[in-house]
Amino acid sequence: MNAGARWMPVLWTCLRAGVRTCAAASLLIVLPITACTTVPGSSPAAQATPGAVGPEAAVLSAMPQPTIEPWVFGGAQGSIVRLPGLSIHIVVRDRWLADTLPRFAWQAMQQYRTALGPLPEPRRPIDTYIFGKRSQWEQYTREALRESAELYLGMGRGGYTIEGRAVLYDIGPVDTLFIVAHEGWHQYTQSTFVEQLPPWMEEGLATFMEGHRMRNDRTTIEFLPWRNLERFSELRSVVREGRMVSLGQLVGGTPQSFLGDGRDSLLSYYAQVWALMHFLNEGEGGRYRAAFRQLIDDAANGRMADRMGLARRSRLMPGRLVLSQYFKVDEREFDRQFQDFVKQVVASGAGDAIWLGENPVGFAARKAAAKSANPSKP
């Protein structure tokens, strides 16, 4: 990206399936700005063994000691927690959530930078505001966005991300952590990537980064991209009800275009781009993994347009063009492979693998092999 360009607002809506629903806005696309420098190239995307979706837990660096200072907003007592690259403003009533949020955001950032190959550090600190009440969120939004505030105040539950800053409010401990993980990815790319990923990949990776589990002690966080029960549940419904769209429709569309067809269509979109990320990372025996990770690395470091042979960067690369240029496969064949992969992902018994945070395809294959080796066992 040339100096003088930055991410600008365009409204994405992120809905989570199941009983709980949260709407979030992420603001992407490009407008003039001051000083935005090209990030130095990172090392080539790391290769991984088939089935690997992220770093081993030991790879995630320990969280450094944060600095904490008091913060008062609207008469409510809160705190600002500062970590390298992160500044988290917290005014929530749930003590456990308030204590967990900084550690969760820190580990999420490590996940973004390592799960699919090494990626650069953010070029500037990432600011996150998390309020305990929607009324506080509304007050901050009016003060910060002024004449633009009404666009965001009309949203549903959750919050929004604009120019790398997430402004969220507590929607319950479970959903709040999921939305912090999702919006954190948008914050990271808006603050770091030199070129913008196409919508299907930007939103797909945000859903990919949502997956995690809390250990029984409720202090140990483990990020597992497959452990996303709500995206999985929606994907299974999509397959059962015959609502899968073609790969061309999926990568050629945007969240807004699916939202126009109603909430169920939007939930379907997020479930399918979540599955597409897993397919590109693990499908067909890992055939597309290297290109997938190269694409992410190229966008982060400003090499995507050059690799695609384009004379200049577009503010938003066409989704189907990116798919064809990087993966070099006939779209119909690619579509067939993806549809087959999804059917395996939602096959009977796959929920057990999702609960464990494992690839359902590999999980089923191991179970079948074990049963074949020990036919006498039930």
- Which residue in 328, 292, 326, 298 sits closest to 52, CA to CA? 292
Q: What is the pLDDT of residue 316?
A: 63
Higher-confidence residue: 6 or 139? Answer: 139
The C-alpha angle with vertex 83 and arms to 53 and 112, in degrees rounded to 5, equals: 15
C-alpha to C-alpha distance for 58 and 61, rounded to whole angstroms: 7
67-73 and 23-26 strand pairing: unpaired
At residue 13, the pLDDT reads 38
Listing from the earlier edge strand, what are the strands of the sheet with 158-162? Answer: 23-26, 158-162, 165-169, 126-131, 86-91, 76-83, 67-73
Distances (CA, A) of 257 to 23, 182, 200, 202, 207: 16, 20, 12, 15, 18
Please provide the DSSP assignment of 185-218 as one string. Answer: HHHHHHHH-SSPPPHHHHHHHHHHTT-EEE-TTS
Q: What is the mean pLDDT of the chain?
A: 82
pLDDT digits (tens, 9 = 90+) for 185-227: 999 999 999 999 999 999 999 999 999 998 877 778 999 999 9
The pair of three-digit structure tokens given for residue 21, joined into one six-digit string: 């629903």
Per-residue pLDDT tens for 129-163?
999 999 999 999 999 999 889 888 877 778 888 88
Pick the CATH number of 1-33+63-192 from 3.30.2450, 3.40.30, 1.10.1060, 3.30.70: 3.40.30
Quote the pLDDT of residue 35.
24
Instruction: Classify each residue of 43-81 as buried b or exposed e, where b means 16 or more C-beta atoms within 10 Å of its C-beta.
Output: eebeebeebbbbbeeeebeebeebeeeeeebeeeebbbb
Q: What is the mean pLDDT of residues 340-358?
A: 94
Percent of the chain with pLDDT over 70: 80
Residue type, position 162, single letter: I
Q: Can you give the residue ranges of every domain in the chain?
A: 1-33+63-192, 228-378
How much is the pLDDT for 17? 37
Is the CB of residue 209 less than 8 Å from the CB of residue 225?
A: yes
- Which pLDDT belongs to residue 14? 41
Give the model's pLDDT for residue 376.
66
CB-CB neighbours of 34 under 10 Å:
8
Task: Determine the Cα–Cα distance for residues 95 and 82; give it in Å rounded to an integer.
Answer: 18
Q: Kindly tell me the sign of the dihedral angle through the C-alpha atoms of 302, 307, 313, 317.
A: negative
Amino acid 30: pLDDT: 23
Residue 369's pLDDT band (boundaries 50, 70, 90)? confident
Report the pLDDT averaged over residues 61-70: 88
Q: pLDDT tens, 72-125?
A: 999 999 999 999 999 999 999 999 999 999 999 999 999 999 999 999 999 888
Half-sphere exposure of 174 (CA within 13 A, CB side): 9
Helix and strand numbers, DSSP H then E, in the chain? 15, 11
Give me the pLDDT at residue 157, please.
78
